[in-house]
Each structure stands twice: as C-alpha cells, then as structure tokens.
Amino acid sequence: MLLDFERVWPSVPYILEGVQVTLAYTGVSLFLGFLWGTCLALFKISHIKVLKWFSSFYTSVFRGTPLLLQLMLIYHAIPQLTGYTISVWEAGILTFTLNSGAYISEHIRGGINAVDKGQMEAALSLGISYPFAMKDIILPQAIRIILPSLVSESIDLLKESTLISVIGGADILRRANIVASEKYLYFEPLLIAGGLYYVLVMILTLGARILEKKLKTS
Amino acid sequence: MILLENIHKSFGSLEVLKGISGRIPRGEVLAIIGPSGSGKSTLLRSINLLEIPTSGKIFVDNTCITDKGANIGKLRTKVGMVFQQFNLFPHMTTLENVIYAPLKVKKMARKEAEILGKKLLEKVGLKNKVQTYPPNLSGGQKQRAAIARALAMEPEVILFDEPTSALDPEMVKEVLEVIKSLAHTGITMIIVTHEMGFAREIADRIWFLDEGHLVEDSMSQKFFKSPKTKRAKSFLEKVL
Ligand SMILES: Nc1ncnc2c1ncn2[C@@H]1O[C@H](COP(=O)(O)OP(=O)(O)O)[C@@H](O)[C@H]1O
Ligand SMILES: [Mg+2]
C-alpha cells in the first residue's frame, strides 16, 4: 500500500486551520476551568458545610461520568430545558470548563494543603485578611507545587477536545475527517491530524519543562 | 498592657492550658519558659488568636479580644509575631516580605513602604539582601528578615516563639542581638525561649509554665536567684 499525500496536499491548510480551533477550545476552557476549579477548591477547604458538600458532590459527578456524555447532555438538554439554542462553541466551552474545573479543583486543593501551615499563620499574624492571604501568599505557592499536574491536565484536555468534533466543532480531527470523506482517503488526513496533536502536546510539554526550570532557579 | 483572665485551652480531650491569669505591662519584656509540651506556644498563640481559648478572657489595651465581635484583624496589626520556622513568604523578595502587610493592610503608599522596608532591613543587618529570595538566605538572615517583617506593622507587642531554636548554633547570636536591640524601646515583648542566659539578660519578668499552669510569675533577677517553687528550681537545675 502506498501513501498518497499528493492528493491530500491541497487540503492541508484547511486541516491546519483546525489548530486554532483546537487551541481555542483548550485554552479558553482551561482558563475558565482554572478559575472555576480554584473556587471549588476554596469551597472544599471552607468551613461552610453546604459549600463543602456541593463541591465534593460536583467533583464526583463530573469525574464519575464520561465527558462525551456530559457534552451531549449539555448540547441537547439545554435547548430542550431552557429553549436557548446553544452553539457548538458554547456547549464545548461550557462542558470542558465544568469538567476540567472538577479535576483542577482536586489538584488545587492538594496544592493548598501542601503549602506549609506556617505561611497562613504568618500572613494572619500580620493582620492580612484570609482572602488576601489566599490570593497572594498561599495560591501562588500551591500553583507552583502543582504545576506538573496542571500541565498534564491541559494535555488531557487538548486531546479530549477532539470530542467537540462529535457535535460538529471544526477542530483538527473533524477537518481531517471531512477531507477524508471528500477524497476517499482515510489514512493520510488522520496521520496529519495525529502529527499535529503530537506536535502541540510536545510544545506544551517542552514549555512546561522550561517554566519549571525557571521557577526552580528563581 | 495585656491581661489574661483564667485562660483555658483544650485540643479535643487534651487540656493544654489550665487556667492562666497574668498581667504584662506595656513596654515590658516577658520571657516564658518551661518544659517542652507545657503549653508555652499555645499560650503565646492565644494572644494573637492563632489559637482561640476554650474559655477565659484576654485584654489587649483594655479591649477584650476574646469577645465574639472583636476585630481580630485590627488586633493582629497591633500584635506582631516571630516564628521558630521563620515562615517567610518564599515567592517574595525580602523587601516584598517586609512591605506586603503595610501595603495591603495599612494601605501605605508603595514609595513610603519601600523606604520603611529598607530602613528596617538595614536595622537588622540585611541592607544588601533587599532583593534576595528567602530560600537564598541563611537561617539567621531569615529570622532577622522575619523580625523586620513583624516590625514593619509597627506593632505594640511582638510575640517570639522560640526564635532561635531552628538555627545553627553559630547563627543564634546574631538573632539574639537583634531581639535585644528591640527590648526596652517601648514595644512589649513576649518571648518563649530555651535560652536561659538570654532570658536572664533581657527579660524583666519570667513566667514559668508547667503542665498548663502558670507556676511562677516573678521578676527575672529574683527568679533566677531564688525561684519560689520546687518545680521551677528543679527545671532550672536541669537546664542551667
Ligand atoms: N493544634 C494542636 N492540636 C492538638 N494538640 C496540640 C496542638 N497544639 C499543641 N498541642 C499539644 O498541646 C501541648 C502543649 O503544646 P505547646 O503549647 O506547643 O507546648 P510548648 O510550646 O510548651 O512545647 C502538647 O502536648 C501538644 O502536643
Ligand atoms: Mg513550643
């Protein structure tokens, strides 16, 4: 069997445009998921029972059900329940944010617990309020500690964002599939898509390694 | 002035403080000594409410800080603390460590705060470590920076919890010198310490704690010359 890249060649720019789409889903959801995950983590360590209960129940639901199911539920259930026609983009961002928030919150909680208790005591003893102490003293240290897990979380999300193609999001995978069915060539476009994902993951990994080194020396 | 009225503190079923009462006049230097596990740290940490007493009352400047509605934040700006483990913020430079609270809590202007911070760091002998991060400081330097950080809030009281116990022996002296330089400058100092020589030299008053009781409250000279209680006597014999 021979690979026929020549016939796919004109469609490569079209597939490449999917990189932006994939990165947009990953980046935006990661950012929002990080904020939401931080809130959830703060709920988990708070002394307010309702918040504690809510956040641990929330986390167990989002970790305990398939992401694809969550995506489909949100995409199909929201119009049916609220009458609002949700776009593919909105459904994707919402699902990935809610889902990654659950995972990230566990990391952040672990990070906060790993910061020496004396740090909060020192901050409080200076009259610094709990919110400021959290934001400026504890969280920066916690995030440094969990940086490797956050990177692997973002790599997971990058790969899982391919699920958006199931509901029609024009990401790398979906575009490769479209090219494939147009040209009746499956192997080549998928190979290109696979290569692109691999390169993106490698760039992320490398970037994280450099960042970690930098943090270690500072 | 600080007033303690019948302070009790339990952790679960373990009663650590068993009714402590006492009075510390403004500007006085008090050393709290006693066997390990006797409740010294717990008592000290009650004064800035890092531990909440199970019962009893604490007054700082005639304000009852153990009341329900007490302003804990305001209390803590008046009562600084220096920890055994320094607890500097490792992701901030020495200067940022010192000026963070004045900036955020006192809303001091940055320029003014930096001038204050540099002045304090110079005072504790860290003029050339202003931009250094704590992991790159020696133990003695860390503790001196932590003292500067506490001073930056211009507290009326400073609590020291075994400030030299985590230090290599050769660094103890430089920290004790800095603490000595603060004594009798108007600031009230409460120092938990195992350094008996230091306590004897610097303290006006000694509290000897044993098993959660304030067994002896004496002026320093008197205490070291002739302790009133047997327990204090045998403790001194062991440590001196
Ligand atoms: N947060 C805590 N929880 C449970 N027990 C504690 C806690 N803090 C201190 N203790 C206990 O209280 C007793 C007195 O401790 P502490 O005040 O640190 O003594 P000291 O400073 O005199 O060595 C010890 O038995 C210690 O184990
Ligand atoms: Mg102690």
The residue length of chain B stands at 240
Q: Which helix (H) or strand (E) holds B24?
A: strand B14-24
**Dihedral angle computed from the Cα positions of residues A200, A201, A203 and A205, in that order, rounded to the nearest 10 degrees:** 170
Can you tell me whether residue B205 is helix, strand or coil? strand
ipTM, two decimals: 0.94
Q: Is B39 in the pocket of ligand 1 (CB under 6 A)?
A: yes
Structural tokens at position B45: 């940490």
Domain for residue A45, yes or no? yes
Q: What is the pLDDT of residue A218?
A: 61
Q: What is the pLDDT of residue A124?
A: 97
Distance CA(A197)–CA(A184), nearest Å, equals: 22
Domain for residue A57, yes or no? yes
Domain for residue A36, yes or no? yes
Nearest to B220 by CA among B182, B172, B183, B169: B183
**Dihedral angle computed from the Cα positions of residues B97, B102, B108 and B110, in that order, rounded to the nearest 10 degrees:** 0
Nearest to A204 by CA among A38, A17, A23, A18: A23
Q: Which atom of ligand 1 is nearest to the CA of B43?
A: 17
**For residue range B202-238, what is the model confidence (pLDDT) as tens digits?**
999 999 999 999 999 999 999 999 999 999 999 999 8
Q: Which atom of ligand 1 is nearest to the CA of B162?
A: 21
Percent of chain B with pLDDT over 90: 98
Using an 8 Å Cβ cutoff, are B145 and B98 in contact? yes
Q: Which residue's entry shows tokens 């409410």?
A: B49
Using an 8 Å Cβ cutoff, are A172 and A11 in contact? no
Using an 8 Å Cβ cutoff, are B208 and B33 in contact? yes
Using an 8 Å Cβ cutoff, are B157 and B63 in contact? no
Residues of the domain holding A59: 7-217
Nearest to A157 by CA among A85, A72, A95: A95
pTM of structure: 0.91
Any A CB within 8 A of B142 CB: no
Q: Which residues pair with B82 in a beta bridge?
A: B160
Can you tell me whether residue A136 is helix, strand or coil? helix
Q: Is B134 in the pocket of ligand 1 (CB under 6 A)?
A: no
Domain for residue A22, yes or no? yes
C-alpha dist (Å) from residue B235 to A193, B41, B191, B230: 76, 18, 18, 8
Domain for residue A152, yes or no? yes
Nearest CA in chain A to B85: A118
Name the band, by pLDDT with cuts 50, 70 and 90, for residue B147: very high
Q: What is the pLDDT of residue A185?
A: 85
Domain for residue A101, yes or no? yes
Domain for residue A115, yes or no? yes
Structural tokens at position B138: 């020696």
Contact yes or no for A127 and B150 at CB 8 A? no
Distance from CA of B235 to the nearest CA of A (A): 30
Domain containing A123 — which CATH number?
A: 1.10.3720.10
**For residue range A115-146, what is the model confidence (pLDDT) as tens digits?**
999 999 999 999 999 999 999 999 999 999 99
Q: Which residue's entry shows tokens 């390694």?
A: A209
Structural tokens at position A153: 């979380």
Contact yes or no for B100 and A127 at CB 8 A? no
Distance CA(B57)–CA(B110), nearest Å, equals: 38
Q: Which residues pair with B190 in a beta bridge?
A: B30, B159
Over range A78-105, report the average pLDDT.
95
Distance CA(A103)–CA(B168), nearest Å, equals: 42
**For residue range B43-54, what is the model confidence (pLDDT) as tens digits?**
999 999 999 999
**For residue range B150-182, what is the model confidence (pLDDT) as tens digits?**
999 999 999 999 999 999 999 999 999 999 999
Mean pLDDT of chain A: 93
Any A CB within 8 A of B83 CB: yes
Domain for residue A1, yes or no? no
Name the band, by pLDDT with cuts 50, 70 and 90, for residue A1: low
**Cα B51 to the center of its chain, rounded Å:** 14
Q: How many domains does chain A have?
A: 1
- For the cut 90, the answer to whether the pLDDT of residue A7 exceeds it is no
